[in-house]
Copies of this chain bind each other. A is one copy, B any other.
Amino acid sequence: MSDYQVTILGSGSALSNIQTFHSAQVLKMNSKRFLIDAGEGVQIRLRQYHQKILAINHIFISHLHGDHCLGLPGLISSLGMMGRTAPLFIHAHADLEKVMGEMIRYFCADSPFDINFVSYNPYHAEEIYSDRTISVTTVPLKHRVPTCGFVFREKNKERHLNRALAESYEVPIAFYKNLKNGEDFVTPDGRVIANDRLTTPPSHAHSFAYISDTAYLEKIVPLIENVDCLYHEATYLSTDDDRIRKTQHSSAAQAATIAKMANVGKLIIGHHSSRYNSYMPFIEEAKAIFPNTFSALDGTRIEF
């Protein structure tokens, strides 16, 4: 299994059809797993797709429309029954705790773990999560209610030390950290050993961006630039321009245009309206602009 992948748990839009559940994805970045959005039935999909449910400690909710968060109470209730003890963090608009808190407290009264609602300001791009290796920042979007996308980036990685060479130059072990950070080594007699003699470049810092739901919004491009993989909603086809304007969603072509402008590695599109009975025209419309596009069908696992 790849260390960097996203699994689509639900790809449907608000009034989903028979095959698709509502929005939810599990992002795996190295050993970490994050849940992004939690539409109804997310706990069912997590089991169906054999995800490590208890390994998820942080959930990121893009906005408070039912199809992006109504799976939270059931998921939290099941986590309790599964014996979870580690605290759970839910990053969302401040209203989430107000509208769902009482219900969660009622149905999950016996939960043996702490549930922490962490609110973010949906109007400013900001870092809302950071650990030793990964940083998550918000991407304010344009929708009918306050909405944010999320960018997950591995932090700058250290260079790889050639330990045998370092030993042969008698570099003190205390200086290894400096080598990994790119410093040259100066021997006691003043000779400079260039860093790239002793180290090789760090491995790639992976990145993923999740953009849903939003009208076409070019100003997000700098925030998601060069990510390895971008999920961007594509609720409609370009021909449906009336609906696109009215509902503040994007077309497949608009998602692809953003992907191209942001120079991302690959694009995943989903959240197609149930008005359409095939995802093929979406893929065709997007690929004409950004060829490396994939469909977010439920159950799809995409590596990056």
Contact in complex: A107, B99 (CB < 8 Å): yes
Is A261 an interface position by the 8 A CB rule? no
CB within 8 A of A103: which of B16, B18, B47, B100? B100
Contact in complex: A106, B64 (CB < 8 Å): yes
CB within 8 A of A74: which of B40, B103, B107? B40
CB within 8 A of A40: which of B16, B40, B106? B40
Is A73 an interface position by the 8 A CB rule? yes
Enumerate chain B residues within 8 angstroms of A82, measured Cβ to Cβ: 15
Give the complex CA separation of A67 and B75 in angstroms: 11
In the complex, chain A residues 94-119 whose Cβ is within 8 Å of any chain B Cβ: 95, 98-100, 102-103, 106-108
Contact in complex: A18, B107 (CB < 8 Å): no
CB proximity of A116 to chain B, nearest CB, Å: 19
Give the complex CA separation of A106 and B70 in angstroms: 12
Interface bracket on A:
20 to 34
CB within 8 A of A99: which of B14, B74, B78, B106? B106
Contact in complex: B48, A18 (CB < 8 Å): yes
CB proximity of A74 to chain B, nearest CB, Å: 4
Give the complex CA separation of A18 and B47 in angstroms: 6
Contact with B along A1-26 (1 / 0, CB 8 A): 00000000000001111100110000
In the complex, chain A residues 28-66 whose Cβ is within 8 Å of any chain B Cβ: 40-41, 43-44, 47-48, 64-66
Enumerate chain B residues within 8 angstroms of A195, measured Cβ to Cβ: none
A66-B107 contact given A21-B44, A71-B40, A102-B99, CB 8 Å threshold: yes
CB proximity of A77 to chain B, nearest CB, Å: 4
Give the complex CA separation of A18 and B44 in angstroms: 7
Is A86 an interface position by the 8 A CB rule? no
Contact in complex: A47, B17 (CB < 8 Å): yes
Give the complex CA separation of A18 and B40 in angstroms: 15
A77, closest chain B residue (CB): B66
Is A81 an interface position by the 8 A CB rule? yes
Give the complex CA separation of A81 and B98 in angstroms: 24
Enumerate chain B residues within 8 angstroms of A106, measured Cβ to Cβ: 64, 95, 99
Contact with B along A159-199 (1 / 0, CB 8 A): 00000000000000000000000000000000000000000
> Can you list 22 residue pairs at the A/B interface with Cβ under 8 Å?
A14-B77, A14-B78, A15-B78, A15-B82, A16-B44, A17-B47, A18-B47, A21-B44, A22-B74, A40-B43, A40-B44, A40-B71, A40-B74, A41-B41, A64-B106, A66-B74, A66-B77, A67-B74, A70-B77, A99-B103, A100-B103, A102-B103
A residues neighboring B (CB under 8 Å)? 14-18, 21-22, 40-41, 43-44, 47-48, 64-67, 70-71, 73-74, 77-78, 81-82, 95, 98-100, 102-103, 106-108
